[in-house]
Every structure is written in structure tokens, then in C-alpha cells.
Homo-oligomer: A and B are copies of this chain.
């Protein structure tokens, strides 16, 4: 891909002066329309070799356009808060909201390429990174974030000359570090690996644009025009009233309409005395486990889903009762705030991810996408269909970073729900828990059961399993939740012991 960026592309100063004023006005206008429209954002990745004009170009873009609607961010060494979350967290937190442009120096490409060049990672790691990146950018694109990836290229000899020139000028000497020369020594390996990565990640939805870096006039106009076109296309897509041409995905239903949840045995029940004894024991066990020094290297993410009145709140409180309040956070998931609506739907869950050694308990979760949003038609069929794999990838990032992920589906019968609704209406401090919406949701019972069954089938993975909890009996349900958490934490700490042992 780089050969065409060693052709000696150039524009004369005169051509530049002729093109620039119009381009600048057009960029400003497109930027303003994007800001007004507020339905999409652009992310520009600025990558490539040292000395190829990355910094200069970004400064120019900020001068051409209105810097108040641009968020420029350079990713340097991760902070300690970043190191305690999965690697993608630092990029999620810098995503521009809809209507704005984000310019990122360094990106999710930086570490995979450098690690591979210096042989800190293997070929398989790189392949996995590529696959994940493609999925991530595809998701961004579907969510209204246009990713534009610029690679600034210089041939080997021009780069050497450029570094030498910078070094010999007292005004720019500070810009060349020992690290730059270390990298330059690996030029050929960088070339090969970068080219492989670029080829494998240059997709229809997030293409790479390789820019020859030698001639400032050429590279500036090249980047400016590409950006302009991308903004205009984004606005056109959004403006166009034409229906999307992509085919609706096929939905596979069991031909006999029998779902996994229909087959659950909900009769299981536990006597009160037995419950209290076992609950006390489990809570004490969990309390001890969380004080194990090895626990500090993990965190636990628990997701609670289930029909209204299935007992999520009660189960959560039995779980938190055994935890130190400083170590857990409970996130009630309701309607998104306007800052959250201006971002891809997973953003509002990423932002709450805990540091290590903590519990985060989501009372309802990202599964809203394939439950309420699907059933109520709040998002398109294509959107919730792709959510299954987006969610699996999200959870995969959590577990690979050491999190213990547990997802509970609390299942009650339709009759049991009715009983509980009626009871709530009669109890003083439970009245607030029952609303008209609950009754409306109840009418869609079958739709929710089908959606939940699909969800369980498509997102129960070895590392982030769904635990199906028969919840007609509250005692049984709460014990099952605690038992699952205790077992999962215990198993993980035992693995650590195994790994750390002699």
C-alpha cells in the first residue's frame, strides 16, 4: 500500500494558494452543518511514521476549521486509572459526541503494531487485534461514528533525512528523541507489519488513507479534501430519505416455537430456615473471598436481567450485603442521559467500568438492546441483530482483562408476576415499584420471552455465561445467585494460585 505514497506526490505553492481558501470555507461549512445536525461524528486517526507531518497537519486542520468543535487528543503512556481497565477504555472515553470531530494521535493500532515490531507479541495476537479492530470500527460506523484513518508515510531515505534535518536545527532539535532513532532502526520491519495491518483493516466502512508526507502542500490538501468529502457523505446519508438498501437479517425461530425459558422448572423452593442458614454461610464465604489478596487483581461484573418483579433488586441486595460498600457500585440502568445518547450505545456502560478489586452490579444492562429495544422497536432489526456479537466482543474484553463476568436471568411465571404486582400495589413502601409501564410490558410477555431466549442462546459464552435462575421462589433464586458468584470467584482465585505456584 505504501508504494503509491513514494511516488513524489506534490502540489506547488501556487496550486495550494489557489485551492486553499475555497477548501477552507467548505470545511468550515461542512463542520458547521455536522455540528447543527448532531446525528453523527467523525473520528480521524493520525498515524504513520515520525517526521511525516502529522502534527503540522493536525494544527492546520484546527486552524482551518472551528477548533471549538474539534477534540484533539494524543494518547501517551496510559494513566493508572486507564491501566486498571481494558485497553479500549481510554479510547472510549475520548470518543467525540455526535456533532463533533475527534482527532486522535495514536490509536488502537499503536500498541498492536509496536508490540509486534519489537516481538513482544506473536503473529496470533496481531491477527486477533486486527479482527477486533474491524469489528469495533464496524460498530462505530453503524452507530453514526465515521472513522477516517490517515497514515502518513515517508520512504526510508526521506525519513532519515527528515530526522537529521530536525536534529540539526536548534529550534527543532527537541523534537527528535532516542526513541525515534530506535524506531528508525526497525524501519523495514515497521514497513512490513504496518502494511499488513493496514491492508487487513482497510474496510469499506473505515478505509485507510495513505498520505505521502514529504510535500506539505500535497499532504495538507489531501487530508483536507478527504475530510471534506467524508463529512459531506455522512451528512448526505443522514439527509437522504431513501430506505437503507441492506437486507434485513434473517431471524431464526425454533419452528415449534419452543424456547429455552419455557422448559425451565420453576418449582424449586427452599424453606426459610434452610435459606437463612445457607445464605449466612454463603455471605460469609464471599466476604472472605473478596479479602483474599489475589482478589485485588480482578473485578466482578454482575448483570441482572429478568421480567419486572422477578426479584432482581432483592437478589442484588443479598449479594451486596456481604460486600464492603467501598468495593461495589450498583448501576441502575434507566433511560440514557443526553450525553449518553450522543454516543454509541455501549458507551454508557464502558464509562462505569470499575477499577480492579471491585464489584460492579448492573441492574439491567447493555442487554436492553436485544430485550426492550428489540421488543418495543426502539432500534432497527439490523441494530439489535448486530448487537449480539458487539456484546460478546465487549464482554470478551472484560474477561481478558481479568474480570469475572456473570449474567443472571431471573425467570418467573406469568402467574407469579401477577401475584407480585398485586402485592406491590398493596404494600406501603413498595407502591413506587409498580407503574403503568409494568402493566404494559406484561402484555408483551411472549415477545420478551422470545427475545430473552434468543439473547441467552447467542450470548452465553464460556467466560461470560448466563445463569438461568428459577425465581418463583425468592429464597431459591437468591441462593442460586450467591452460589454462582461464590463459585466463580473461588474458581478464578484458584486459577491464580495455579498460575502463580512453583
Interface residues, chain A, with chain B CB atoms under 8 Å away: 25, 28-29, 32, 36, 55, 58-59, 61-63, 66-74, 79-81, 103, 105, 171, 174, 288, 291, 313, 316-317, 320-321, 324-326, 328-332, 337-339, 363, 428-429, 432
Contact = CB atoms under 8 A, between A and B. Distances in A.
Contacts of A103: 325
Nearest to A62: B325
Contacts of A25: 428-429
B79 A291 contact: no
6 tightest A-B CB contacts, nearest first? A68-B332, A74-B326, A72-B325, A58-B325, A67-B330, A62-B325
A26 to B, nearest CB: 8
Contact of A329 (B72, B80, B320): B72
Contact of A313 (B66, B81, B325, B338): B66
A415 B307 CA distance: 65
Contacts of A171: 288
Grouping DSSP codes into helix (H, G, I), strand (E, B) and loop, the A interface class, with mixed when no group exceeds half, is: helix
B329 A71 contact: yes
Contact of A79 (B79, B317, B324): B79
B429 A28 contact: yes
A2 to B, nearest CB: 25
Contacts of A363: 68
B67 A324 contact: no
A317 B337 CA distance: 32
A370 B428 CA distance: 46
10 contacts: A55-B325, A59-B324, A63-B320, A67-B317, A67-B325, A70-B330, A71-B329, A79-B80, A79-B81, A337-B339
Contact of A324 (B32, B55, B313): B55
A291 B29 CA distance: 33
A58 B320 CA distance: 12
